[in-house]
Structure 1
Amino acid sequence: MLNDRRLALRALRRPDPQTPAVDRPGQKKILSWNLLRRTGANVAALAALIDREKPDLVLMQEATKEIAGLRDRLGGDYAWVPLPGRIHGPALWSPTPFLAPPTVVELPSGAMFDRVCQILDLGDFGVANVHLSHGQMLNRRQLRRIAEHLPECAAVIGDYNLVGPPLLAGFRDVGPRLPTHAMGRIVPLRLDRCLVRGLTCHASAVLPRGPSDHRPIVVALAPTPFIARRPEETRSGNRLDRFALRISASLKRRVG
């Protein structure tokens, strides 16, 4: 079980996205949360989190049709698309109207069920809301498919179901470096991530656990001035990623 108090203390090392900062053109505070369908976070829990964090955009995974009540409660704009043949899917909420309806992109299929993602135009950059498959080769294929539909300045945020580095050329992993989920309530995993291209992350945090099995993450993103941009290099991941890879390899050897 992940320790909320230890998580809160470690999170202090990173800037708090809720703290007022220098006004940066195009900066958006974006919150992402896997709600845990039906038995997890509901409209009341979401509304309380939004009231506390005051994000510019909320990305949700495993949202069910009942989550549409968020718009009735808080106003704003809302879009939901169920996964094919499932009761849940990705959803978006914004306190202001969308510039255009989000684009829905079909992803390479897994053995269990099909996946889709939402891509939203924020004007200065695009955002993909993702809930990727568990297969570690398949979810990287899905990332490459998503990248084909994104503008030059873009972020890919959500539940990656990924261990190890994402290996998406041209993108940097800028999300918080803390675990967001515990596999079997024991193994800490950083499943919820944020990859960017042409953007700078000015703050990030993993938020305390709510009624879901995932912790929400929050990032403050703004376009990187063109003069400051450079070719992005794929990173090898942090210590948590490498630990997760070792656990995965060990389990495979035992099964084999």
Structure 2
Amino acid sequence: MHALDALDRSHFRKIVSWNLLRRTGAKVDAIVALVERERPDLLLMQEATKDIAVIEERLGGVYAWAPLPGRIHGLAMWSPHPWASPPVVIALPSGAVVDRVCQILDFGEFGVANVHLSHGQVLNRRQLRRIEQSLPARAAVIGDYNLVGPALLPGFRDAGPRIPTHAMVDLVPLRIDRCLVRGLACLGRTVLPR
């Protein structure tokens, strides 16, 4: 989980991204507590199930869920502020096991892509290039990249925290969650406590 504070010409936005780990991870109460503590303008979630939708009742605001094809989980976005239009869902190049999608929200001043990319190091970079084609000039791509090494997305820079966000087999620390930005300034970034 990481937080990004994005600044554009006249607006400051706090964005938090969290892989909920559908089987063993966060439940609705934990999400509500996070929102109440961090007060994000946008919460991006990966591995969200349909049960997470109750946060709209608990917190108000707006919520959108995009399940992965054939799966019980997917991507979700929540905001305390109404959107001009709901997020767009785009299909990504398919992996061997799981088909992936991306949620893209037009914030007006910039676009935000919520991602949970495939594990293949070549495939997830192809998925990023597909996402980039659907973004405005000023944009952020945030979420679980399942990526080791640089993203190699021309025109974007890595603005996320530079510390591990995942422990493979609870032993090997990896930084697989990322935030790439184009045309935005990042005022702060952190990995929040588990």
TM tier, smaller = over 0.9
The SS at the match of 1:175 is coil
Equivalent position of 2:50 in the other structure: 65
Letter in 2 for 1:41: A
Shift of 1:23: 10
Equivalent position of 2:15 in the other structure: 30
Which has the larger Rg? 1
Letter in 2 for 1:175: G
CA distance, structure 1, for counterparts of residue 173 and residue 32 of structure 2: 27
User: Which deviations, in whole Å up to 9, do the C-alpha atoms of 1:136-167 show, x marking residues without a partner?
Assistant: 00000000000000000000000000000000
- How does the TM-score come out when normalised to structure 1? 0.72
Contact 1:160 1:193 in 2 (8 A): yes
Question: In the alignment, is residue 94 of structure 1 matched against residue 76 of structure 2?
Answer: no
- The 5 A counterparts of 1:239-250 are none
Question: In the alignment, is residue 191 of structure 1 matched against residue 184 of structure 2?
Answer: no
- More strand, by proportion: 2
Letter in 2 for 1:141: R
Shift of 1:98: 1.2
CA distance, structure 2, for counterparts of residue 52 and residue 25 of structure 1: 24
What is the aligned-residue identity percentage? 71
Where do 5+ consecutive residues of structure 1 fail to align? 1-15, 210-256
Question: In the alignment, is residue 146 of structure 1 matched against residue 131 of structure 2?
Answer: yes
Q: Aligned pairs, how many?
A: 191
Shift of 1:26: 1.6
Where do 5+ consecutive residues of structure 2 fail to align? none
Shift of 1:17: 7.1
Contact 1:38 1:64 in 2 (8 A): no
- How does the TM-score come out when normalised to structure 2? 0.95
Question: In the alignment, is residue 119 of structure 1 matched against residue 104 of structure 2?
Answer: yes
| RMSD (Å) for aligned C-alpha atoms | 1.6
Equivalent position of 1:105 in the other structure: 90
CA distance, structure 1, for counterparts of residue 158 and residue 191 of structure 2: 15
CA distance, structure 1, for counterparts of residue 9 and residue 47 of structure 2: 32
- More helix, by proportion: 1
